Structure 1
């Protein structure tokens, strides 16, 4: 077990059982509301998006907290420490996409010591019950939320998010995803009664009576393999779904984005210890350069659940090799938009330009392929040729991103040299005609940041080599304006790409009921979320937590859904016991 209690303001010790009851009372209304919301799919969140809601000194405090970590070892007190990772990038340390090294070192741990300690922590957590586990998870999320500015800075300086994106996707919306998973876990774990009396009438006498119970049993250690793009947003669903269903969670962060998940694990361990549970229920496993720790851990017999968001290649490897575990994946996506017609041409261009520019196309829902009939489109401003649509889109991008100081609030720093290489290849003309050339943006606060505006390359769906190009994922600010023979051809290409390569989002601008119906049917078959005629300040890249399902499990982009019932039910088992009740 962990600590025996928490220090109170008066210097005494709080009883862990009492503390868990306090948490249950404190977070019960929030959990009830979350459960109601995942049923109704209405708009709701307990975590404010407004940065000012966290107090006047929150932002400055976060900057001071990050500064205090520089040059330090972020030690979480886990067993099996056998060295350090970092702080220099050459030693596995992180470097901010905005320039400076974070210079934070993390202990490395021997899995053969860490995993047994996590197994030992499991029985007391399992026996605590659904309600207690959910309350502790809700407290972890509440504390993370109180430090949202710190988590946003961590996202900014590991994943290259702009400040708004960092505060939303790196902090509060990730917290929403975590709470959504907890709510769904409670729903599914309480679907069956814990105990009941079963009675069957008999024709010749007294009814046949059995006392029955259903007992929940978690699967075992859960491995979360983090990514560098959205380590919290992609990580929290699996982390909290596993923890709420009774499983310990081992977090293996991406080497370039350790800090967001390290801060998460630190908070979880603190709350677990205060509540009287072994903090080794949640552990961090940073890896040394070239160690390949994810592969080693994923096939370990103690690991019974794996959550992974990242490349298709590694997702496929996990499904083939981690056969002892239940594997949940979210992998590469090739997202497409059909531009067929519109009754608000300027509004469409503005919405589309923002969707392309946001976080420099590095979102998993960012549109890549813009499918436009080669004969042009009908608009409220008259007929527009294919070339005119592409040129006007370039104008909308130029207007949106004209001022560097304003542009960096929409764009993000490029994640890695690999993303920059893709942009430079697109800009060279090697992929096709460059209709909108990318340009370097000077960040006023971070002169070493690598920031680029979107590149738009013209392709033709009739050319096999162009089809091969648009069928691959080009993560980053690289987009293709694709000439298609007709709206019907565009619908078929969008659906085919989603089925064969995977997609997480699809969209269209059309005034035709026939085109809308055809695309809706095609996306239903391909298993991709579809958005029509978005305008104003809602974009194809956005996903409303508690309402939208992220992924469908029907195409190669996602083998898991944030957050449906299947996402949590695969993390626990139910065992029935029957006892005969004698008559009288």
Structure 2
């Protein structure tokens, strides 16, 4: 180990090939989690991967279709899929993947994972970090293939799939590795403790400190962002010496199956047992996550998904350290602006991106009923809503442009929400949704956002806006004042949970009030965003995704509290000085 200072965090001279290969990347990652500056070792420009990389990635994905994906894990007792009726995946863009995955007897798989732990846990933290960095580097070379997997399990458009489903997920994984490395270095590996005694002598103890992993970590993944939400926990656990059992969403197995495949190959090449990382695919209705989460061998649980199941895990997986990321109701206050047209464009894109299926998508836009001050003069509430609707229409006017922004709807329940909101049952419809046709995938279901007008003084409308509406459903909410808007924003975050909040204002006192409200509610605030950065985005190595304060979850991507509970430090005291 070594103390957690810039001087002593330099990697040791280990013989590992991977330490030599990734020393510079890891040292840079350790630096940027301190400085919070922009950096990534994984280019987000597609052309950086070569002129034919996209075509090669698409070909690699196509080669996976209709075939079994084998992992050579112990305890195989059957197959999951490929028929969707038997648990197989179906692309939101309208076709069956036809991929089958091995199913395993947990009674055989868990002991094999436990047997892999001792040598991995005894390895130097730098060596573990370097192996994790190598896994991520190998995954990075498959980024276009991973993007295809994200498109056809989660419904992302291509660009979002390449970013959130591939390179930004890889960044989240490396960020967790850097935090894990830093936290394991807080205690020195050795120390000499000497206490002066009354007789003038010194009583001396030679002390050593060793990090000890908790055991097996269970990753329960979601369908929306299986890699982006999954990699932080996977790599935080692995880098701190734990084994990781990956339980993917039944409709989004492929991204994490490819991840497990790569991790197992690298671990074996590095001389470790590949059973440190295993996949636990499940049959329809098996509810394997509930079974695994309460097994005594499972000591860590990472989960991203609904509040209902996240709360169940917190209440029932008592033997484990549970990290949750749950549902959120995100709110933005529009009080005033010096950049009216730019603000509208930014808001329209934020509402439309991935069809509002992002966990950070704004749902409630709070606007004073008396209107707002702008660089174009005063705008009434009705005018702001109409102009925002016009900005949405312009952004998504043609299908080719719309498909580059929207995503395929993840299921019939999302479409039902859109249609219910569009019916006028919730309130007046300011922007009606329209069906978008993707010529490459004519069976995909895409809809532009529906914008409904609500009134914060109506009990019925308050109940509507307090519920989570995943998908392209948003509300323009009339509030009595900026103060009432700030109070509502805070109350929603505290009671329902929030991952993002925003304010547009030229008034310092309103900005200060919003900042204080968000600090107390525990939600990241974005102020006056215009241009090409949006409330939906989170900059890896710099922004903290969630705070662990409000009901949207108890964990943060990524901070010390996210990695430190995954291991413990055990000391040994020996009489006398070393040597």
Normalised by the shorter chain, which TM-score bucket?
over 0.9
What TM-score, normalized by structure 1, do the two folds share? 0.96
1:424 is matched with 419
Partner Cα distance (2:128, 2:376) in 1: 57
Which of 373, 377, 380 is the equivalent residue of 2:375? Answer: 380
2:551 is matched with 556
Which of 338, 344, 347 is the equivalent residue of 1:343? Answer: 338
Structure 2 contact 159–404 (Cα < 8 Å) conserved: yes
2:179 is matched with 184
Partner Cα distance (1:297, 1:428) in 2: 42
1:284 is matched with 279
Which of 486, 503, 513 is the equivalent residue of 2:508? Answer: 513
Which of 19, 23, 26 is the equivalent residue of 1:24? Answer: 19
Please state how far the C-alpha of 1:20 moved relative to its aligned partner: 6.4
Partner Cα distance (1:507, 1:572) in 2: 36
2:457 is matched with 462
1:471 is matched with 466
2:160 is matched with 165
Structure 1 contact 242–571 (Cα < 8 Å) conserved: yes
Which of 147, 155, 178 is the equivalent residue of 2:142? Answer: 147
Residue 338 of structure 1 aligns to a residue in which SS? strand
Residues 1:581 and 2:576 aligned together: yes
Residues 97 and 256 of structure 1: CA distance in aligned 2, closer, same or farther (over 3 Å): same
Structure 1 contact 20–135 (Cα < 8 Å) conserved: no
Which of 228, 234, 240 is the equivalent residue of 1:239? Answer: 234
What TM-score, normalized by structure 2, do the two folds share? 0.97
Residues 113 and 370 of structure 1: CA distance in aligned 2, closer, same or farther (over 3 Å): same
Residues 1:204 and 2:235 aligned together: no
Please state how far the C-alpha of 1:582 moved relative to its aligned partner: 7.3
Structure 1 contact 206–583 (Cα < 8 Å) conserved: no
Structure 2 unpaired stretches of 5+: 1-12
State how 1:109-148 maps to structure 2 within 5 Å: 109-148=104-143
Structure 2 contact 166–227 (Cα < 8 Å) conserved: yes
Per mean C-alpha deviation after superposition, the further-off stretch among 571-580 and 29-38 is: 571-580
Structure 1 contact 19–275 (Cα < 8 Å) conserved: no
Per mean C-alpha deviation after superposition, the further-off stretch among 64-73 and 315-324 is: 64-73
Which of 34, 39, 52 is the equivalent residue of 2:47? Answer: 52
Residues 125 and 521 of structure 1: CA distance in aligned 2, closer, same or farther (over 3 Å): same
2:521 is matched with 526
Structure 2 contact 346–531 (Cα < 8 Å) conserved: yes
Which of 478, 483, 491 is the equivalent residue of 2:486? Answer: 491
2:364 is matched with 369
Two-structure CA RMSD over aligned residues (Å): 1.3
Please state how far the C-alpha of 1:579 moved relative to its aligned partner: 1.7
Structure 1 contact 20–275 (Cα < 8 Å) conserved: no
Structure 2 contact 88–251 (Cα < 8 Å) conserved: yes
Deviations 1:129-169 (A, max 9, x none): 20110110000000000110000110011000011100000
Deviations 1:103-154 (A, max 9, x none): 1000111111110100000011111120110110000000000110000110
Residues 108 and 492 of structure 1: CA distance in aligned 2, closer, same or farther (over 3 Å): same
Residue 372 of structure 2 aligns to a residue in which SS? coil
Partner Cα distance (1:365, 1:201) in 2: 58
Deviations 1:466-492 (A, max 9, x none): 111111110000001001010000000
Partner Cα distance (1:88, 1:114) in 2: 25
Residues 1:43 and 2:27 aligned together: no
Partner Cα distance (1:261, 1:20) in 2: 30
Please state how far the C-alpha of 1:201 moved relative to its aligned partner: 2.8
Total equivalences in the alignment: 567
2:567 is matched with 572
1:271 is matched with 266
2:301 is matched with 306
Which of 397, 400, 409 is the equivalent residue of 2:404? Answer: 409
Partner Cα distance (2:577, 2:58) in 1: 68
1:71 is matched with 66
Partner Cα distance (1:418, 1:583) in 2: 66
2:10 is matched with none
Deviations 1:489-548 (A, max 9, x none): 000000000000000000010000000010100100000000000010000000000000
Residues 1:394 and 2:389 aligned together: yes
2:3 is matched with none
Deviations 1:340-382 (A, max 9, x none): 0001110100000000000000000000000000111011111
Structure 1 unpaired stretches of 5+: 1-17
Deviations 1:64-100 (A, max 9, x none): 1111111111010011111111111101000000111
Partner Cα distance (1:381, 1:330) in 2: 41
Residues 1:108 and 2:103 aligned together: yes
Residues 486 and 201 of structure 1: CA distance in aligned 2, closer, same or farther (over 3 Å): same
Deviations 1:274-316 (A, max 9, x none): 1111100000011100000000000001000000000000000
Deviations 1:174-221 (A, max 9, x none): 000000000000000011001110122334312221111111110010
